[in-house]
């Protein structure tokens, strides 16, 4: 984040990764949406991006073009201009963006602004990690996973708009460290605790069943090892349900806190816009994450 003047700051971020799906267009679109989420999580409006690409020399041009087209169309939805970029050769495809956005200095968001009593909101369901792992294991077809795939391509623009309108104090986007991992980052930075209601957490269709079959990517176990010491689970929450909360997400939703007195208005505004939004818990003084 770089302050330009008394009114504006410049947010700069970058992200890229290897394919999470076989379809090149979807892969490009998901990667672009994921890259732009950091700008929204900082309270910004993205306006410019650069492609970051690494393609095998024998990758058909048609596939590379579809990856770039997917990214370009998501950027167009966001009102973002892709002003070039850079491509190198690599054994495995990689794609993402450098993204830039303007942020009014009076609404810069980070992870350390949560206050006791704030309500926690989440803008997308969880479970992408188990679903994409199941696709790779031929346990579910990409056709059956079409809805979760569409969620990954969805921008967090509208969710960020609601967060800012109703006094958001802190925000982050949910990606590889999982819901609980990124939630702990916010709690630790804000020197607070969190109480999260398991039954209020949205999950993609089929994710619970896949979790019961232990269809988790390796990153879920890394997340559990690192973040579980900061988490307390109610006895009735099973081990596979716990692990789902450590599931790495790709292009996940925004997690943000707003004052309790404005939470009902935020939900009403989301309903008016036809925007999915879930209240999943609140900020406490416990110093840990309690999942009840």
Q: Tens of pLDDT along 8-21?
A: 999 999 999 999 88
Domains of the chain, residue spans: 2-107, 119-291
> 2-107 has which fold?
60s Ribosomal Protein L30; Chain: A; (3.30.1330)
Per CATH, 2-107 and 119-291 having the same topology is answered no
Pick the CATH number of 119-291 from 3.30.70.20, 3.90.650.10, 2.60.40.1510, 3.40.1190.20: 3.90.650.10
Q: How far apart are CA 290 and CA 202, in angstroms?
A: 17
Q: Are 67 and 24 in contact (CB under 8 A)?
A: yes
pLDDT at 153: 96
Q: How far apart are CA 92 and CA 211, in angstroms?
A: 28
Residues whose CB is less than 8 angstroms from the CB of residue 223 and which lie 6 or more positions away in sequence, other chains included? 177, 178, 180, 181, 246, 247, 248
Q: What is the mean pLDDT of the chain?
A: 96
Q: How far apart are CA 40 and CA 217, in angstroms?
A: 27
Enumerate residue ranges in the chain where pLDDT < 70.
none
Specify the pTM.
0.94
Q: Tens of pLDDT along 30-75?
A: 999 999 999 999 999 999 999 999 999 999 999 999 999 999 999 9
């Amino acid at each position: 984040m770089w302050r330009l003047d008394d009114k504006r700051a410049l947010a700069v971020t970058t992200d890229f990764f290897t394919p999470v799906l076989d379809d090149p267009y979807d892969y490009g679109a998901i990667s672009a949406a994921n890259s732009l989420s950091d700008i929204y999580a900082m309270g910004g409006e993205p306006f410019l991006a650069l492609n970051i690409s690494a393609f095998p020399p024998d990758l058909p041009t048609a596939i590379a073009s579809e990856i770039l087209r997917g990214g370009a169309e998501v950027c167009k939805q966001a009102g973002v201009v892709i002003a070039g970029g850079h491509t190198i050769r690599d054994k495995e495809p990689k794609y993402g963006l450098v993204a830039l956005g303007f942020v009014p200095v009076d609404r810069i968001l980070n992870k350390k602004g949560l206050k006791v009593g704030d309500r926690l909101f989440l803008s997308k369901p969880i479970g992408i990690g188990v679903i994409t792992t199941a696709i790779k294991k031929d346990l579910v077809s990409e056709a059956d996973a079409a809805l979760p795939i569409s969620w990954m391509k969805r921008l967090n623009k509208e969710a960020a708009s609601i967060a800012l309108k109703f006094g958001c104090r802190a925000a982050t986007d949910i990606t590889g460290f999982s819901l609980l991992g990124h939630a702990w980052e916010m709690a630790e930075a804000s020197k607070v605790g969190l109480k999260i209601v398991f039954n209020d957490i949205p999950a993609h269709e089929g994710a619970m069943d896949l979790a019961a079959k232990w269809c988790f990517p390796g990153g879920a176990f890394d997340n559990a090892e690192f973040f579980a010491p900061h988490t307390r689970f109610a006895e009735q929450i099973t081990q596979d349900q716990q692990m789902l909360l450590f599931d790495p997400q790709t292009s996940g939703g925004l997690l943000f806190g707003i004052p309790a007195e404005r939470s009902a208005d935020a939900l009403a505004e989301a309903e008016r816009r036809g925007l999915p939004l879930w209240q999943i818990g609140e900020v406490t003084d416990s110093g840990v994450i309690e999942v009840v």
